[in-house]
Amino acid sequence: MSRPLVPALAAVVLSLAVPSVRAQEYDPFRVFYDRARPLPQPAGAPGVQVPASESLAPGDEARARALLRAEGLARRAWPGFGLFDQPILLSRKGGPAVLIGHTSPPAGFEKAAMEGASRPVYVLRGGMELDFTFVTDVDLGGVPTYGQRVLGEGEPSSSTVALAVHERFHVRQSAAFSEQVRPPYPLEAKESPENIAWAEIEQKLLSAALRDPSRARARLRAFQAVREHRYGRFGKDVASVERWEESTEGTAEYVELRVLDQLSPAKGVMKGDLVRRLGQAPSPESMDKWRAYATGASMGRLLDRIEPGWKARVERGEGPYDVLASGLGPIPEGEMKVLLDSVAREFGYGAALERAGKEAGRSREARRKAIERFEGQKGRRLKVTLRWVPGTRSYFSSRGDTHETGPYETLFEEVREYLFQNEAMRVKVRNRPLWLRAGSVEFFLPEEGKFLLDGKPWSPGGGPSSFRESSASSEGIEVSLKAGTLSLEGGALTLVPRP
């Protein structure tokens, strides 16, 4: 994922089989919540406050001030979006935790001396660990709080603001946006050279519209022709996925960039970043999600000029493209052909098609080799069925390449951090290959790792098929299930938690 001013980390959030939200949807990229999960709290009675006396380190203060300044900018970027509708906790490893906007923090938090701060700021000298890059509902004194890791004292305040605005806007979406169903993006469409090549032309047209506002409407009309052509060729699932992603990630990126654009002393940060990213030719891996960050944000910026009410319409369930197309009107067949022929010549469709063909072949070969490497690992292959119950938390961030292997299936060459946790089970994997299936996850436990059933080491042919508790552990692997069954299926030890 390419995002401006943000550490290179593809941080994503997974919610599996949430019956009340999207029963059939695999959604690894949007925040949902069921209840706040308390973290260990400082000792003492909650709500204790002291007069402002604590000073913050320069970096911590700069990040806090940048977030406070971003509050008004975020609300102007998207009416109704309150960055501090939740307090914000910044957690830095080996350093203090900074809490902004809490009205009654738990004991141990001391009020920081920050002259002119628009909201109260507190510091916890002992720090507070978060179990992921960001957590949307840390329970602090009974108040669901947004928590975010800071990578170090030197992390730029712009990076902190970018991630906080983006992920807090997803919380807004969960509460205020109409629900949509996101089907899987058809693999044949992801790897179609024709689809990828026309998608590249789309991006060039959006870039041209951003760079030359005087010709924006004509460029957008041509963009509409290309997109309608793609949807006619590749079907409604492609249209549904792109609507979902541009409404979700595209609008979050739009708000993030609008805020950074105002915070930065440089001019044209948003436009420059979008033009740069639109200039990157799409790949099969980017077709179902990553390109939507830039295409959705770009359409949002252009709609600011031609359809001021577009944000309310997106909240009601339309995608940015739906709003754009309705304003431009239907394209007659004759005009469609003229537009397609024109942009194919101007923007080099033939060369784009050749590039896309090579990319599709590379993607298929990379997936084949990734599967081969995964299957060839040493150790015990574990498959854990993921049982969703109220309160389930599941996150992952990817450090290496990812490969779609089927509907709702993704192979991570290296998952930086994966967590699935509820009252019945916990699966945490770091810095290892991982295969996320529809309703299960697979990985290899190294030969030196421990695998216990009911507190005793398990060996082939020697363990019970059911257990009261099980665990697997090694460097980067923590698995525990309270009760369930064990079976050997296709060479994998399969753990199924009890319903």
Per-residue pLDDT of 218-230, as tens digits, reads 999 999 999 999 9
**Which pLDDT score is estimated for 439?**
92
**Which pLDDT score is estimated for 459?**
80
d(CA 167, CA 255): 11
**Which pLDDT score is estimated for 45?**
33
Domains in the chain: boundaries = 31-176, 187-356, 376-497
Exposed, middle or buried: residue 17 (CB in 10 Å: 0-12, 13-18, 19+)? Answer: middle
pTM: 0.85
**Which pLDDT score is estimated for 335?**
97
Regions in the chain scoring below 50 on pLDDT: 1-52
The two three-digit tokens of residue 359, written as one number: 């990319």
Q: pLDDT tens across 251-289, in order?
A: 999 999 999 999 998 999 999 999 999 999 999 999 999
**Which pLDDT score is estimated for 368?**
97
Q: Exposure string (b/e) for 441-468, b if CB count within 10 Å is 16 or more?
A: bbbbbeeebebbbeeeebeeeebeeebe
Give the rounded distance of the alpha carbon of 115 from its chain centre: 35
